[in-house]
Structure 1
Amino acid sequence: MVKKSIVFLAILLIGLNALAVNPKSYIKKGNIPIHITADKLTAFDKKGLYIFEGGVVATRGDVRLTSDKMEVYKDKKTGDIGKVVCIGHVVITKQDKKATGDKAIYTASDSKVVLIGHAKVVSGKNNITSDRIIYYLDRDYVVSQSDNKTKRVEVIIYPNQKKGSK
């Protein structure tokens, strides 16, 4: 029974790449521009900090991110984006995939996106829900965990059905 559970978990984790909205495609798309709109922008150029507030919408290619607030931190050495923190009603969509949470943190140094608080990733009818979902972009794997023992990670997977089968 334990072996079957481990095999199922391995298959599930491999399949989560299909479930996840790939934040790598959002952050690292070469020459595709990032378009951000918000009610307010406060720029601290010397600190390399840019704070977008109020109905933040960021798009890049076919990926759309919305949140109440977005903080963009530049890497002091490279001048590239080093860290992005989205706070409040975070929604990331790409085609039929959607990731939501109370907060999302992207860090370039370890190429990781963390969804925190009511974290959920949906692809079609399949979904995973937990307190925290961590997606390691370079290593292409997902860790989902609960912050307490009373609420557990929940995964719903609908097996593919072939045409003509019942």
Structure 2
Amino acid sequence: MRAIRTCVVALALGMVSAPALHAAETGATEPLQLSADHGELDNAEGVSTYTGNVVVTRGSMRITGDELRVYRGDDGGVARIEVEGDPATYRDEASASGAVDAQAPRMTYHASAPERLHLEGGAQLQRGRDEFRGETLLYHIAGDRIEADRGDDGQRVEIKLYPENGDGGGGQ
């Protein structure tokens, strides 16, 4: 059974990392690399689904979760990646503002322009030392901009911003 799963994942990985699935619109030239315990590819629908310790990397970006779906766009490239986890995580060490770490029960990474990350269900994002919390967060990756919203339960957005010099001394 384990050999069958390994073959399914190896086949699915071969399909996902094909040149057609590179995110050309974002300027990224790195392939999308994926590993999981199980994978299924539906070429007719343009969707592949992966479960069990899923890890996706492309360049300095890394996404992890329990279940992940990759949707292809009309051009054959990756349109978006939906991931669920306890929590699902995102990390990118190449951000202009320092490393970005995010987590939420559900997230959607939009690979086509404008590249962005939508976090839902109680989200946290740390960019450098700054911290953002809300029911939903939208991180505009290319513009290095973050939007946070409270949930229906009235839980307010929490944001902690540090001075640019980082010593807590009140400014630049």
TM-score (norm 1): 0.72
1:87 is aligned to 2:84: yes
Query: Which letter does structure 2 place at the counterpart of 1:146?
Result: R
- Percent of aligned positions that are identical: 22
1:130-149 maps to which residues of 2 (within 5 A)?
130-137=134-141, 141-148=145-152
Two-structure CA RMSD over aligned residues (Å) = 2.7
1:67 is aligned to 2:42: no
Equivalent in the alignment of 2:155? 151
SS in 1 for 2:75: coil
Aligned CA distance change for structure 1 residues 110 and 33 (closer, same or farther; 3 Å)? closer
Distance, in Å, in 2 between the alignment partners of 1:80 and 1:119 is 27
TM-superposition CA deviations, 1:130-153 (whole Å, max 9, x none): 000013456653221012252000
Query: Which letter does structure 2 place at the counterpart of 1:46?
Result: A
1:113-128 maps to which residues of 2 (within 5 A)?
113-128=117-132
| CA contact 1:120–1:127 (8 Å) conserved in 2 | yes
Distance, in Å, in 2 between the alignment partners of 1:134 and 1:55 is 24
Query: Which letter does structure 2 place at the counterpart of 1:141?
Result: R
| CA contact 1:82–1:109 (8 Å) conserved in 2 | no
Say how many residue pairs are matched. 139
SS in 1 for 2:79: strand
TM-superposition CA deviations, 1:60-114 (whole Å, max 9, x none): 1111111111101111x21111221111121111233211111111343764421
TM-score (norm 2): 0.69
SS in 1 for 2:148: strand
Equivalent in the alignment of 1:14? none
